[in-house]
Structures are given as structure tokens and as C-alpha cells.
Chain A
């Protein structure tokens, strides 16, 4: 069975600083990987996804992530954050050919002025 570990529960960062949110996964087969964002009192929105091909994936709002198969990681990065990036971020994994998307516990990003 697959699993996802988000290594930081909270990440405080100053506005315009770079940020990295870490995600490791476990699976015995090939996977698809996703990052979602959740703003307060809203549902989850897709930030970016890795299905195949280039291991560097670019998403919305200036975010990007790199798939590292050898380290089973899919870390999310942004070179310069804004106050509006304050939200909770979820990493998720889906086994290729599988039915269930499994989510990490989430990382709360707090951007300070």
C-alpha cells in the first residue's frame, strides 16, 4: 500500500523569501504525485501534478516540484512567497492503475509580513 509523509506540519516564512515544503512517499509500484492547496473554509485545489515525463513540474501561482524517484520525494518549492500563499498544502500519491489517492497530513504555510 502507498503512504505519504509530509515532514513539516507548519512552516513560517517571511514574505518574498523562498520556501520548500517536503513530501516523501512510499509505494511498491509506479506512482502519480500531486500537490493541492486548501485556503481557509474551502475545498482542495490542484497546484501541480506529476504523471510522467520531466521530473520538474511547474504549477499555478509560481510553485514547482521535483520528482526524485531514488529518494521517493516530491518537494514543493516557490522562490518568493506572498502573504496570499498562506494556506495548507497537501501532498498526495496515486498508484498507477490504482483507485485510491492517499494524502499526507498537510503542511500549514504561514507567510509573515
Chain B
């Protein structure tokens, strides 16, 4: 099993550009998450989904949008990238009473 797969792995954007990060899981998990990781701040929750067609805001949702049109996919969008969004982004999924499984991360730089 592939588990949780994120694409792309690296990206450089110019300020104001848009992009979409894709997360795919093959474990039939209901819950999916997007986190950002910054030095000294751990992982902060951006948005999450508790099932197909649902999304909810996490701790730091501003500047991001998400969609979960299919159970296995969770997309994170940046409509107008800012340097403050330079970070490493992690997608995770989990079942009802299980731990979260993580992707390998996307390193995004906004210049």
C-alpha cells in the first residue's frame, strides 16, 4: 500500500501566484488533515475533513482553501501565495480510533 501520497514534493511560487497541493490516501480513512510545519512551532492544523464532501477550519486557515470531493483525496489551495506561507505542508489521514498516517511532505517556498 502507498498509504498517504502528496504531490508535489517541492514547489517555488512567486508572491500572488496560486497552486493546489494534492493528498491521496488508499486506506479508506474518513478523516483527512492538512498541517503546516514551521521551525519551533510544531505542526499546526490548517483545515480538516471528517468525510467526503465535508471540510472544517483548523488553527491557521487564513489564506488557504480545501476540498474533499472524493473520499480518498484532499486538496489544499493557495489562491494568492504570500511569503508567510513558506513552509513544509503535511497531509495526514486516520480512521475512527487510529493514529494519523502522514505523507512525506511538500516543501513550498514563496518568493
B54-80 CB mask vs A (1 if < 8 Å, else 0) is 001010000000000000000000000
**A56 interface residue (CB < 8 Å to B):** no
Task: Assess the B43–A103 pair: CB atoms within 8 A.
Answer: yes
Q: How many residues of B contact A (CB 8 A)?
A: 25
- How many residue pairs between the two chains, A and B, have CB atoms under 8 Å in the bound complex? 51
- Give CA–CA (A18, B31) in the complex, Å: 36
**A101 interface residue (CB < 8 Å to B):** yes
Task: Assess the A51–B42 pair: CB atoms within 8 A.
Answer: no
Given A43-B105, A44-B102, decide whether A99 and B31 contact each other with a Cβ distance below 8 A. Answer: yes
Minimum Cβ distance to chain B for residue A103 (Å): 4
Given A44-B90, A100-B48, A101-B94, decide whether A34 and B99 contact each other with a Cβ distance below 8 A. Answer: yes
Task: Assess the B45–A100 pair: CB atoms within 8 A.
Answer: yes
B18-59 CB mask vs A (1 if < 8 Å, else 0) is 000000000000010101000011111100101000001010
A contact patch SS: strand
Q: How many residues of A contact B (CB 8 A)?
A: 23
Task: Assess the B100–A101 pair: CB atoms within 8 A.
Answer: yes
Q: What 14 additional pairs, Cβ within 8 angstroms, besides A90-B43, A100-B58? A: A9-B40, A32-B97, A34-B99, A36-B102, A44-B102, A99-B48, A99-B56, A100-B45, A101-B33, A101-B92, A103-B43, A103-B44, A105-B41, A105-B42
